[in-house]
Amino acid sequence: MDFIKGFSFGYMSKKGEWETEEAKQSLKRLKERCGINHVVLTVVAEQDKPQSVHIHWKDHPDMLSDQEIENMIFYAQSLGLTVILKPMVNVSDGTWRAHINFFDTDVPCEPKWSDWFAAYTEFILHYAETAEKTNCAMLVIGCELVNTDRREAEWRTLIRHVRNVYHGLITYNCDKYQEDVLKWWDAVDVISSSGYYPVNAWEEQLDRIEKVVKKHQKPFFFCEAGCPSWEGGDLLPNDWTLRGRPDVETQRRWYEEMFRETSKRDWVRGYAFWDWKAKLYPIDQAENDQDYSVYGKPAEKVIQAYYENKK
């Protein structure tokens, strides 16, 4: 697997937003300003509640259209970028997707794992077909669905179905701290996770992840990783709900430390940092932005320098 100098792009974009010149220019700026060679295109569907078994990817008015997704893939490829397609499920009531969960044993009149996986498989297979049609290099079949991770049989079945329609690399983006919990890494081609680790904990966490990578002898990359730009965000970068005093230097230091530690591990084969929006804020407002974006912030130059110097 080529080293992934990547970024996640377009999270929570709504129907029509990828058709705009603004979105295309944003992706072009991302390549120019950060020196990426891969882009993870995020396509987000929703289910109403954590225990819902219907996923609104065909019937939601805000869902990105198939045509604009394909067009954005082709545009990214025209820029020389390798595309990773990442269909994701969120919960409309604001619950984090990790808490999607059902009884382990089916109970009459209660929502069931079998119903949810049937809906989820249909959703993933649709975008697996898109990934095959557009020659995407990799497909992310799930993201941070922590309570589903224990449903090993269902995931293995889903992966078999995906391989019938998509012939590129397959990964699952597990959540932070779950790399050594997942039991079915052997079924995917690439191990990936969300690297939202505290700035002072990288060595410890990389030691833990390394054991998993060596056991399975598969490529690994951070399918998500990042730090918000508020004071203290580097100590709890996984909590996107927190905000404090804007501090772009906190974010910069986190990226520097992350690169310092991960560069010592030759099995870390890249990153897809979180995240770059299709609609950017004005660059003169960067100093006051408290989100994960690096656009116009010191961390952007740290990433660019690392990517451009990385062989």
pLDDT digits (tens, 9 = 90+) for 182-217: 999 999 999 999 999 999 999 999 999 999 999 999
- For the record, the structure tokens of 98 come out as 């990790």
Mean pLDDT, all residues of the chain: 97
pLDDT > 90: percent of the chain: 96
- For the record, the structure tokens of 288 come out as 């006051």
Indicate if the pLDDT at residue 242 is higher than 80: no
Measured distance CA(74)–CA(94) in Å, rounded: 32
Look at the block and give the residue holding tokens 């932070």. 176
Residue 71 banded pLDDT, cuts 50, 70, 90:
very high
Nearest C-alpha neighbor of 180 from the set 160, 155, 148, 207: 207
Q: Note the pLDDT of residue 159.
A: 98
Measured distance CA(55)–CA(277) in Å, rounded: 24
* 29: enclosing H helix or E strand: helix 21-34
Give the count of alpha carbons within 13 A of 213, CB side only: 19
Whether the Cβ atoms of residue 218 and residue 243 lie closer than 8 Å to each other: no
| Multiple choice CATH, 4-227+268-281, 3.40.50.300, 3.40.309.10, 3.40.50.620, 3.20.20.80 | 3.20.20.80
- For the record, the structure tokens of 21 come out as 């010149």
